[in-house]
Amino acid sequence: MDSTHSTDLWDRVFATQPDPDLWLVVVTGVVALAAVVPRGVWLVTRNAITIAHEGGHGLTALLSGRRLDGIRLHSDTSGLTVSRGKPTGIGMILTAAAGYPAASLLGLAGAWLLAAGHITALLWGATALLAALLVMVRNAFGLLTVVVTGAAFVLVSWLTGPAVQALFAYGVVWFLLFGGVRPAFELQRRRRLGGAADSDADQLARLTHLPAVVWLGFFHLVSLCALTGGGRWLLGL
């Protein structure tokens, strides 16, 4: 690739795009909310949140010096990330704590990029993250899920105009912000009914000697703060 093409590609990815009309931002938020609230729809769309959840575990494991053996994504929207290293200590704590906040923090970062006008950069960045995740997925359903999700980002990035890219990007970020809130409430409900004894919150309780309810509160705090802050950025408040 010569320098001219490299410059063109750089300009295409990192150039700023004009802010979309407020109605588009509101409509994409409503659509994203409709993809999270109804249980029947959520049973399908939650797979995208699982990708972010397990990706959060995996990335944090690597950053904390652990060895990442692989990630599995299942059709029931559950997932599993396996890493090797010291079974206690800060690395294990950070890895266990990273799953539930991951979608919300990705949504917050996406909202910041959109508020700065970097719609194309967001789409390409998400594609790069999905490509990195794909290398670590170890089951067929997980591979299919990540490939389909990544293909959607690639097609929108390359084949559509600014209006469609904005529609897609705002919808994705709203979905991450809204979708990041619901799993912690689901976990809270399962624990109240006596299930999820080996959940992230319970693992963290064993690692830190803090009650699992404290970690549930942490998950709630991160997701709700991200939704509030990200929503304000998206709406231009």
- Residues 148, 154, 160: CA angle, nearest 5 degrees: 120
What per-residue confidence (pLDDT) applies to 202? 93
Res 21 pLDDT > 70: yes
The rounded distance, in Å, linking the Cα atoms of 10 and 27 is 30
pTM reported for the whole predicted model: 0.92
What per-residue confidence (pLDDT) applies to 160? 87
Q: Label residue 226 left, alpha or beta by phi (over 0 means left) and psi (-120 to 50 means alpha).
A: alpha
Average pLDDT, integer, range 80-97: 93
Which residue do the tokens 């897609």 mark?
Answer: 168
Res 30 pLDDT > 70: yes
* Structure tokens given for 226: 């991200």
CA distances from 40 to 9, 44, 225 (A): 41, 7, 26
3-state class of 83 per DSSP? strand
What per-residue confidence (pLDDT) applies to 187? 94
Q: Any residues with CB less than 8 A from the CB of 179 and at least 6 apart, and which?
A: 32, 35, 36, 45, 46, 48, 49, 103, 107
* Structure tokens given for 110: 């996406």
What amino acid occupies position 204?
L
The rounded distance, in Å, linking the Cα atoms of 219 and 115 is 25
Count other Cβ atoms within 10 Å, centred on residue 96.
24
What per-residue confidence (pLDDT) applies to 194? 80
Count other Cβ atoms within 10 Å, centred on residue 216.
22
CA 178 to chain centre: 11
Res 72 pLDDT > 90: yes
What per-residue confidence (pLDDT) applies to 153? 94
Contact predicate 141/74, CB 8 Å? yes
